[in-house]
Chains A and B, each alone.
Chain A
Amino acid sequence: MTHQWHDSYRHQITPAHHLDPRSKLFVGLLFIAVVLLTPRFTPVQAAGYPALILIAAALSGVRLRLLAVRFLTIMPFALLMGVSALFSHLSHQEWLGMLGKAMCSIAAMSLLMLTTPFPDLLRALEQLHLPRLLVMFLAFLYRYGGVLYEDAVHLERAWAARYFGRFWLRQWAHLGNILAALFIRSYERAERVFAAMQARGFSSGAAGVRLLHFGFSDAIFVCGGLLLLAAVRWGRFS
């Protein structure tokens, strides 16, 4: 199964793709935390945080257009804030600051996931001692989410072909029937999957062939990332 949304850059060969997922996860989440904990952006921070994103995007070979598309996910909240600002004390600067923080966070997460295959991320989470049960559920969801999605699309297409032009409230009722069919298919598939897994000697945990190794390049990435981040956050530039 190909997850087109994030797998398009998975097989590229760039410095970012070779890094240990743990180091990318650490630096990425730290970047998000530092940005969110910045009370109000100074001009240096307002230019510095996006500059760090641009550097990371250049190292990852990710096109900026792809990052821009992902900013659409915050549009409903941005619009809500815009409407609500008419009734509250939220200033334009504060509103723009919130949007800026949201964009930095989305860009950082996007870059992390575009350069890290999800199975590698699961292995990293497992090595970071996240509960094994949680990691296993995540692995199942990643593996079967796409398969079930394809089932769902087939059901949706068949249903749309029979149902054009009808009253939309009734469409929602029929969505229930579609989902019930999908649920039963999923359940029966899960039973077969589990039997196959047991036959192959299933043991809980994230499956993957890549062994994680924290090397010299990771040390440089983490130290460099921390230094740049600290410089933007706390540096005094005249």
Chain B
Amino acid sequence: MHIPDGFLTPRVWVSLDVVSGSLLALGLRRVSAAFEEKAIPLMGVLAAFIFAGQMINIPVAGGTSGHFLGGGLAGALLGPWAGLVVMSVVLIVQCFLFQDGGAAALGANILNMGVVGSMGGSLFYRTAMGGLHGERRVFWSGFLSGWLSMVLAAGCCAVQLCLSQVVSWSAGLSLIVGIHALVGLLEGIVTGTVLQALSASRPDLVRLDQSRFTLKDGMVWMILLAILFAAARFASEAPDPVQKLLGLK
């Protein structure tokens, strides 16, 4: 899901760099205000944990393998803002050290896996925990958080590629989202199992989240997304993508 450079048009990657950079700056402010000094190295090591967790490859099928992404888990454990910061740090290191994801496309990747993956994951986890009951509710909340965050992140990635007109809307959405809806099941299983195991052995670690998602944060997020989609509208002179997708033009 790490978009390399060259696959997004300049208008798309520049606007996404601005949006993700602003959100990351906001996240850093929130984290430094909400977390104690002691939590800062802990978060750094937790970023290293997500990074190391992504290195373990598990066979999928036909000689291919997959790995854990961790956006939903970071969001569920650390909360929306700290999860965004941790995922951004992981993506920056992957981009610089391993060239996994482009430098110019870093904003797009942070938006997909940090903002949508981690912040979305936090929101889904909280909502599911509030709505579900029973002994396995931590697992199922984690499962939903992992699966939904991956599918939405993949959807976002597909939209960015479609806006850049490098893939068609039908092929892009069906291929990228379809594949990740299946792979996301595995992400959901892993996220749910990790949270279940942690809540059984170290329940104090499952309550690390100290950065609440307030109404003000929601407003800022909505405004930035509105700016993003307004900017994306000018990404090409072709007919409105939604109209094109629906076959209206």
Q: Classify chain A's interface size.
A: 35 or more
Within 8 A of A (CB), among B38-57: 38, 40-49, 51-53, 55-56
Assess the A204–B40 pair: CB atoms within 8 A: yes
**Cβ-defined contact, B48 with A98, below 8 A:** no
- Is A234 in the interface zone, CB < 8 Å from B? no
B98 to chain A minimum Cβ distance, whole angstroms, is 6
Q: Does A140 interact with chain B (Cβ within 8 Å)? A: yes
Partner-contacting stretch, out of B2-10, B114-122, B126-134, B217-225: B2-10
Question: Which one of A70, A109, A141 lies within 8 Å of B47 (CB-CB)?
Answer: A141
Is A148's CB under 8 angstroms from B99's CB?
A: no
Is A186 an interface residue, CB under 8 A from the partner?
yes
| Chain B: number of interface residues, binned into ranges | 35 or more
Q: Are B99 and A182 in contact (CB under 8 A)?
A: no
One of B104, B167, B198 near A36 (C-beta < 8 A): B104
Tell me if B186 is interfacial: C-beta within 8 Å of chain A. yes
Enumerate chain A residues within 8 angstroms of B45, measured Cβ to Cβ: 140, 144, 148, 186-187, 189-190, 193
CA distance A26 to B147 in the complex (A): 39
Q: Establish whether residues A110 and B41, one from each chain, have CB atoms under 8 Å apart when the complex forms.
A: no
Chain A residues with a Cβ under 8 A of chain B: 3, 5-6, 29, 32-33, 36-37, 70, 73-74, 77, 80-81, 83-84, 86-90, 97-106, 109-110, 112-113, 118, 121, 131, 133-134, 136-145, 147-149, 151-153, 155-156, 168-169, 171-184, 186-187, 189-191, 193-194, 197, 204
User: A104-B6, A168-B58, A176-B190 provided; 14 other pairs, C-beta below 8 A?
Assistant: A73-B98, A83-B175, A109-B99, A112-B96, A113-B96, A134-B85, A148-B52, A151-B52, A152-B52, A171-B58, A182-B52, A184-B205, A187-B45, A190-B44
Mark B residues whose CB is within 8 Å of A.
2-7, 10, 13, 24-25, 28, 31-32, 38, 40-49, 51-53, 55-56, 58-61, 68, 85-86, 88-90, 92-93, 95-100, 102-104, 165-168, 170-172, 175-176, 186, 189-194, 196-198, 201-202, 205
